[in-house]
Amino acid sequence: MELIDLEFYKNLVILLENYIEKLYLDLTFSLNINEFDVNKMIELIPNDSNIRVTNKNKYEYIRLICQEKITRSI
């Protein structure tokens, strides 16, 4: 991921190294993207994009968001 998007990678490292709850982030299992000047929300878990990212599920979130980023970059 570091080679694809360095800034994104750095943010993921921050998530991994810290407790999500202490970062005061309002993350859910979704990804907002801009495709051809149109904003879209991608559900990382179909029909469950409103699940909040916590310290317990942050590894799953990171796995899914990286998978989505990598497949979109191809």
pTM of the model: 0.85
Question: Any idea where the domains of the chain sit in the sequence?
Answer: 6-73
User: pLDDT for 29-49, tens place per residue?
Assistant: 999 988 899 999 999 999 888
**Cα atoms in the Cβ-side hemisphere of radius 13 Å centred on 56:** 2
User: pLDDT for 6-21, tens place per residue?
Assistant: 999 999 999 999 999 9
Fold entry, domain 6-73: Hect, E3 ligase catalytic domain (3.30.2160)
Instruction: Return the residue matching tokens 């080679």.
Output: 3
Q: What was the pLDDT predicted at 73? A: 65
C-alpha dist (Å) from residue 8 to 2, 4, 70: 8, 9, 12
